[in-house]
Amino acid sequence: MTVPQDKSEHKGVWVFLEARRGRLRDVSRQLLGVARGLAAQRGSDVSGVLPGWNAESFAREAIEYGADRVYLVEDPRLETYTSRPFTKVMATLIGRHKPEIMLFGATKNGRDLGGRLHAVIETGLAADCVKLEIDEDGNLDMIRPSFGGKSLAHILCKQHRPQMASARPNVFPIPPRQPGRKGDIVRETVEITDVDIDAKIVRFEEHRGHKGSPIEDARIVVSGGFGLRDPKNFRLLEELAKELGGAVAASRKAVDAGWVPKDYQVGQTGRTVRPKLYVAVGISGAVQHLAGMQESEKILAINLDHKAPMFEVCDYGIVGDLFRVVPELTRQIRERKAVATVPQVAR
């Protein structure tokens, strides 16, 4: 169905826009920047797609970040994301306007939607891309980490349209906002009936202290895993991070246990960090975690288990009880600071 007779009928780069907390998600704004570059190479333009309710302000915001037009579908039942009606809206609009490229953020909702949609409309979808380029044949080169980050795979979708990709959040820069930038808000009608509503969100619980994570910019990252045993032990890492002038992060296990917010998470499904020094405390080193930190300049592992895979990828390691090693490390750094010049990351 989506192998078009004439691929040139499909034009334009589309971005699925997600809003949260009264503004567009960072990843949506990042994608608008990516889309501008791709559209320039394809000689086409950028459209945002925004299913929602009372969402016109987000459409204006998207235009200021680079959309030439925003397809706005408003319905009270689209106020929060659920799979079925959003899939219907996207499938309908794609069928109606035939974009060449369709981009999603690789967020939980972006992946939930993309996964359902690509099967329904039968086209290719590459997940979690970290680079998106146009190749010499004019196809979208969808580049994503594979095999636990050990390589980068170039995915092509040569015949089917649209070419769809989800992009990892916080890999691409947010383009500058251009206040007053002109663009069209196109109101689209997609009939949503009760039959299309099968999921009801009956409860929402927000993570406490959600403030945006500094870990991607930190020169030193002190990261804790399940070995910390208890959320209150993250205090040990905070003290160490303070002495080092670094930020605290965590493995997925610690995040999933609810010890620290999702923003702290390093790894394949979290953030990718490349600090001068990554201190892995009580993190065994699953490949999914390594994918998010193995490009760090130096890695220090602290773990009781000398067989932890983290020791195989580190530059420095201490095999020992983190509850003794970490406070000792904090203490000695403080001591050395007191007697000598301030220990800092070498520039």
Partner 1 sequence: MASKGPRSVVCIKQVPKAQELQVDPVTKTLKRVGVPSEINPPDRNALEMALRVKDKHGGDVVVVTMGPPVFTQALEEALAMGCDRAVLLTDRILGGSDTVPTALALSETIHKIGGYDLLFCGEETTDASTGHVGPGIAGHLDCAQISYCSELEYRGKTVVGKRTVEDGFEWWECPTPCMVTVNFLANRPRPQSLTGRIRVKRGGLITTWSCADVGINPNKVGIKNSPTIVAKVDTVELPDRKAKIFRGDPKKAVAQLLDALAADGVLAR
- Please, which of residues 313-332 interact with partner 1 by CB under 8 A? 313-321, 324-325, 328-329, 332
Is 116 a residue that touches partner 1 (CB under 8 A)?
Answer: yes
Q: Are 225 and 281 in contact (CB under 8 A)?
A: yes
In the complex, the smallest distance separating the C-beta of residue 47 from partner 1, rounded to whole angstroms, is 22
**CA–CA separation, 69 vs 55, rounded Å?**
14
Report the residue from 63, 93, 127, 237 that binds partner 1 according to the rule CB under 8 A.
127
- Tell me the C-alpha distance between 289 and 99, whole Å: 35
- Closest CB to partner 1 among 201 and 338? 201
> Do β-strands 101-105 and 163-167 pair in parallel, antiparallel, or remain unpaired?
parallel
- Residue type present at position 100: E
The two three-digit tokens of residue 98, written as one number? 């035939």
Under rule CB under 8 A, residue 186 binds partner 1? no
Q: Is 84 in the site for partner 1 (CB under 8 A)?
A: yes
Contact present, 103 and 31 (Cβ < 8 Å): yes
Give the x-and-dash track for 3-22 against partner 1 (CB under 8 A).
Answer: -----------------xx-
Instruction: Establish if 309 lies at the interface with partner 1 (CB under 8 A).
Output: yes
Regarding 336 and contact with partner 1 (CB under 8 A), the answer is yes
Among positions 207-226, residues that touch partner 1 (CB under 8 A) are 207, 210
Candidate list 117, 237, 241, 273; residue touching partner 1; CB under 8 A: 117
Q: Report how far Cα 263 is from the mean position of its chain's Cα atoms.
A: 10
Beta strand 23-24 with 19-20 is antiparallel
Counting contacts by CB under 8 A, is residue 102 touching partner 1?
no
Binding piece for partner 1, criterion CB under 8 A, among 32-40, 67-75, 173-181, 301-309: 301-309
In the shown chain, the binding pattern of residues 22 to 61 toward partner 1, with x for contact by CB under 8 A and - for none, equals ----------------------------------------
Q: How far is the CB of 217 from partner 1 (least distance, A)?
A: 18
Copy the structure tokens of residue 97. Answer: 């306007």
Residue 146 is a binding residue for partner 1 (CB under 8 A): yes
Site string for partner 1, 152-181 (x = CB under 8 A): xxxxxxxxx---------------------
Nearer to partner 1, 6 or 206 (CB): 206
- What is the Cα–Cα distance from 94 to 10, expressed in whole angstroms? 10
Q: How far is the CB of 231 from partner 1 (least distance, A)?
A: 16
Q: Which is nearer to partner 1, 63 or 113 (CB)?
A: 113
DSSP letter for 342, please: P
Can the peptide bond before residue 145 be classed as cis, meaning omega within 30 degrees of 0? no
How many other CB atoms are there within 10 angstroms of residue 119's CB atom?
Answer: 11
Minimum distance, C-beta of residue 81 to partner 1, in the bound complex (Å): 9
Quote the CA–CA distance of 249 and 238 in Å, as a whole number: 10
- The tokens describing 288, both together, are 């999914």
Binding mask 224-263 for partner 1 (x = CB under 8 A): --------------------x-------xx--x-----x-
Of the candidates 148, 301, 312, 325, the residue with the CA atom closest to the CA atom of residue 222: 301
What is residue 13's three-state secondary structure? strand
- Say how far apart CA 214 and CA 143 lie, in whole Å: 26
Question: What are residue 72's DSSP bridge partners?
Answer: 50, 187
Provide the minimum distance between the beta carbon of 190 and partner 1 in the complex, in angstroms, as a whole number. Answer: 17
Q: How far is the CB of 193 from partner 1 (least distance, A)?
A: 14
Residue 21 CB, shortest distance to partner 1, in Å, is 8
Strands 140-146, 131-134: parallel, antiparallel or unpaired by DSSP? antiparallel
